[in-house]
Amino acid sequence: MKILLATTNRFKVREITEIIPDVEFLAISDFTDHWEVEEVGATFEENSLLKAKTAAHYFGIISIADDSGLEIPILSYFPGVQSSRFLEDRPFEEKMKAVLERMSSFDKPEERVARFRTVATYYDPLTGQSLSAEGVVEGSIAERISGDNGFGYDPIFIPKGFDRTFGELSDIIKNNFSHRSRAFHKLFERIKSEALP
Ligand code: ITT
SS3 15: helix
Q: Using pLDDT thresholds of 50, 70 and 90, give the confidence band for residue 82.
A: confident
Confidence (pLDDT) at 37 = 95
Confidence (pLDDT) at 85 = 85
Nearest CA to ligand 1 atom 8: 9
Give the chain's mean pLDDT.
96
The answer to whether 6 and 51 have CB atoms below 8 angstroms apart is: yes
| Residue 155: partners with Cβ closer than 8 Å, 6 or more residues away | 96, 142, 145, 146, 147, 148, 165, 166, 167, 168
Q: Does the structure show a pLDDT above 90 at 83?
A: no
Substitution candidate for ligand 1 out of 83, 118, 145, 176 with most atoms within 8 A of CB: 83
| Residue 113: partners with Cβ closer than 8 Å, 6 or more residues away | 72, 73, 74, 138, 139, 140
Asked if the peptide bond before residue 79 counts as cis, ω within 30 degrees of 0, the response is yes
Cα-to-centroid distance, 104 and ligand 1 (Å): 24
- The catalytic site residues sit at 67
For 163-174, the pLDDT digits (tens) are 999 999 999 999
The rounded distance, in Å, linking the Cα atoms of 66 and 6 is 8
Confidence (pLDDT) at 132 = 98
The rounded distance, in Å, linking the Cα atoms of 24 and 1 is 7
Nearest CA to ligand 1 atom 1: 7
- Closest by CA position to 17, among listed 82, 52, 64: 64
The answer to whether 184 and 134 have CB atoms below 8 angstroms apart is: no
Residues whose beta carbon lies within 6 Å of some atom of ligand 1? 7-9, 12, 39, 51, 66-69, 83-84, 116, 150-154, 180
Which pTM value belongs to this model?
A: 0.97
Nearest CA to ligand 1 atom 20: 152
Substitution candidate for ligand 1 out of 31, 68, 180 with most atoms within 8 A of CB: 68
The rounded distance, in Å, linking the Cα atoms of 1 and 187 is 16
The rounded distance, in Å, linking the Cα atoms of 170 and 56 is 32
For 87-113, the pLDDT digits (tens) are 988 999 999 999 999 999 999 999 999
Cα-to-centroid distance, 197 and ligand 1 (Å): 31
Nearest CA to ligand 1 atom 25: 152
